[in-house]
């Protein structure tokens, strides 16, 4: 499928916003914590893959995901998501546009920069901003990003090795 990463990106936006809406909030060290915090990191890396497919038009994929979230999830969560994703998109765009590093480094850098900033924006918008929440949300996003990034890197190396073997034959 030509736009598979974009489809997955939109799907994860909707999924995460619905988890934030419908899953119970737990108290961790006296601060609210959503189970969506554990999977939200995948959204960042999928945004980067979607940006490879769509370029700067990735903003429209983000808006579509947030619009569908607005219909399917809590309105306040969807609006907080739009604002935090927008902040993340601006940071991501700056990293992808102005750094000349290899793609793998840009993917990781943009995600690591975005995580604490848009976590703070999101938590503020849903009245859950606290130090523990920002740290936990940022760590869970970072772990998710690193996991997907490592899988992607492994696949790329495997693909590259397969091409080298095929070229030798």
Sequence ranges of the domains in the chain: 4-168
Cα dihedral 112, 138, 63, 97, rounded to 10, equals -10
Say if residues 111 and 95 touch (Cβ distance below 8 Å). no
* CA 36/CA 12 separation, integer angstroms: 11
> Which residues in the chain land under pLDDT 70?
38, 169
* CA 15/CA 56 separation, integer angstroms: 23
Q: What is the pLDDT of residue 169?
A: 64
Q: What is the pLDDT of residue 12?
A: 92
Distances (CA, A) of 33 to 25, 37, 116, 119, 137: 6, 7, 15, 12, 8
pTM for this prediction: 0.75
Say if residues 88 and 62 touch (Cβ distance below 8 Å). no
Architecture (CATH level 2) of domain 4-168: Orthogonal Bundle (1.10)
Q: Where are the beta strands (DSSP E) in the chain?
A: 25-28, 31-34
Say if residues 148 and 45 touch (Cβ distance below 8 Å). yes
Phi, psi of 31 (to 5 degrees): -120, 145
Phi-psi region of 15 (alpha: psi -120 to 50; beta: other; left: phi over 0): alpha
């Amino acid at each position: 499928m030509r736009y598979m990463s974009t489809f997955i990106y939109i799907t994860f936006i909707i999924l995460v916003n619905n988890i934030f809406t419908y899953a119970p909030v737990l108290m961790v060290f006296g601060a609210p914590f959503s189970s969506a915090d554990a999977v939200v990191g995948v959204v960042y890396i999928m945004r980067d893959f979607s940006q490879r497919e769509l370029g700067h038009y990735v903003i429209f994929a983000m808006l579509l995901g947030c619009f569908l979230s607005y219909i399917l999830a809590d309105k306040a969560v969807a609006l907080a998501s739009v604002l935090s994703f927008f902040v993340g998109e601006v940071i991501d765009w700056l990293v992808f546009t102005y750094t000349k590093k290899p793609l793998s480094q840009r993917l990781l850098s943009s995600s690591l920069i975005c995580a604490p900033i848009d976590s703070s924006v999101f938590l503020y918008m849903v009245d859950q901003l606290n130090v523990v929440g920002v740290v936990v949300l940022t760590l869970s996003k970072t772990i998710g990003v690193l996991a997907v990034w490592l899988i992607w890197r492994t696949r790329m190396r495997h693909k590259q090795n397969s091409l080298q073997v095929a070229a030798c034959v």
